[in-house]
A and B are shown apart, each in its own frame.
Chain A
């Protein structure tokens, strides 16, 4: 990790928290869709991030969001679970070291298929943990399931849009 990478990740950390807290948390689409785009930070951490830093960064990220939504522990738990799953997901979907080309996971370096698998699995893990911990009841199982699916789709859409905006495919 170069100091440049660290710098960009810190900037991204603060930007995503403020984007989530000040804009996305105020979005209300039919009462079912709450995008949690801030987890894009965990998706984009470099491949060679030490494993302990992965967990600690995810914890601090979730905790910061929790402070603003008065849900101490909720986002932190979901984020830590997602960060824990990340190395396993990466090794499960990568065919060899050549697919881990580049510094950070991205649509351009790893290809559409790899990146879709990667982000869909991790977003689903986070959103499942988040929504079911939030309600913590099985009586609303189906309604919560619908929320998980719709919100995950929306988060994925935001992730893909920013992938195409920030890292254009053009040669």
Chain B
């Protein structure tokens, strides 16, 4: 027994190293399971407050651009208020509208930290579960995609950017609705990869890729980007393309979180189906 203790004391450096290294690696590879845990909520709150403090300073440098965007947005909204419409008909019909039901609503939020230079990039926004943000919601800017929510604390949320090895977005060609997948392989943050394009689809540069709406994360028809190059390998079943993202991930200021009001219904439907 004494020898055992002596052995441990003599080689404690190795054991401590093994312990700390294993501990880190377990945390790293069980990343997804830890996201909902209190550990994450605490670290989110700490990094969130530091990031928003820093953002308060760096915001001043982009005021001009933010102003321009806000003015454009205001003009767009002005054109939508009832006073902007000229009523052509004197017979105004009033009816309860039961045909249209709100499917998506949007929560606007400010980006307080962002990166494009890593292999796996994330954003932090200043809205959290208190404002209705939940995991797996999509995030957009204008009509362009940004990423999806992966972790939420009460005031902040972490967004997995499109620029991440785990991001895989279901898209389609706008011209013929052919489904494809869009990924990012690292390197240049403006360019992504389009995978699984069927052989018979004829591509030209400039073809528009939009979201397919198949994934429950993004509504249909949001801009992903345009085809900027492609190769058609003879010995494979699919073609590959290079896509120029419409979103400039390096200049995200204010973004919107997409809330799918019918998501639960969709998920329940999927869960209720049991193959024979």
- The answer to whether A and B come from one shared complex is yes
State how many angstroms separate the Cβ of B195 from the closest Cβ of chain A: 13
The interface bits of chain B over 48-85 (1 if a CB of A lies within 8 angstroms of the residue's CB, else 0) are 00110010000000000000000000000000000000
* A27 & B24 in contact (Cβ 8 Å cutoff): no
A-B contacts counted at CB < 8 A amount to 104
Closest to A67 in B: B43
Closest to B150 in A: A70
B12 near A: Cβ within 8 Å?
yes
B21 near A: Cβ within 8 Å?
yes
Across-interface contacts of B47 in A (CB, < 8 A): 67-68, 70
Chain A: interface secondary structure?
helix
Q: Which of A2-10, A41-49, A132-140 contacts B (4 or more CB under 8 A)?
A: A132-140
* B25 & A73 in contact (Cβ 8 Å cutoff): yes
Most buried by A among B27, B40, B119: B119
Number of A residues near B (Cβ < 8 Å) is: 41
Within 8 A of B (CB), among A1-30: 21-22, 25-30
* A80 & B115 in contact (Cβ 8 Å cutoff): no
* A72 & B115 in contact (Cβ 8 Å cutoff): no
A39 near B: Cβ within 8 Å?
no
A149 near B: Cβ within 8 Å?
no
* A52 & B151 in contact (Cβ 8 Å cutoff): no
* B28 & A133 in contact (Cβ 8 Å cutoff): yes
B99 near A: Cβ within 8 Å?
no
Across-interface contacts of B151 in A (CB, < 8 A): 70
* A55 & B28 in contact (Cβ 8 Å cutoff): no
Closest to B189 in A: A31
Given known pairs A29-B117, A31-B186, A76-B24, the reply for A70 and B50 (CB within 8 Å) is no
Within 8 A of A (CB), among B18-59: 20-21, 23-29, 31, 34, 39-40, 43, 46-47, 50-51, 54
Q: In the complex the two chains form, what is the Cα distance from A68 to B45 in whole Å?
A: 10
Choice from B31, B54, B118 contacting A72 with Cβ under 8 Å: B31
Q: In the complex the two chains form, what is the Cα distance from A27 to B46 in whole Å?
A: 22
Given known pairs A67-B46, A72-B28, A73-B25, the reply for A28 and B13 (CB within 8 Å) is no
Choice from B31, B122, B187 contacting A143 with Cβ under 8 Å: B187
* A68 & B120 in contact (Cβ 8 Å cutoff): no
State how many angstroms separate the Cβ of A13 from the closest Cβ of chain B: 15
Across-interface contacts of B25 in A (CB, < 8 A): 73, 77, 133
State how many angstroms separate the Cβ of A97 from the closest Cβ of chain B: 20
* A74 & B28 in contact (Cβ 8 Å cutoff): yes
Q: In the complex the two chains form, what is the Cα distance from A113 to B116 in whole Å?
A: 36
B178 near A: Cβ within 8 Å?
no
B188 near A: Cβ within 8 Å?
yes
Chain B positions within 8 Å of A, measured between CB atoms, are 12-13, 16-17, 20-21, 23-29, 31, 34, 39-40, 43, 46-47, 50-51, 54, 115-120, 122, 124, 151, 158, 165, 185-189, 250
Apart from A77-B25, A135-B186: 11 A-B pairs, beta carbons within 8 A: A28-B189, A31-B116, A51-B12, A67-B43, A67-B47, A68-B47, A70-B151, A72-B27, A84-B17, A134-B118, A144-B119
Name 6 A/B residue pairs within 8 A (Cβ), A-sorted. Answer: A27-B117, A52-B13, A70-B47, A70-B158, A72-B40, A134-B120
Chain A positions within 8 Å of B, measured between CB atoms, are 21-22, 25-34, 51-52, 55-56, 59, 62, 67-74, 76-77, 80-81, 84, 87, 131, 133-135, 137, 140, 143-144, 147
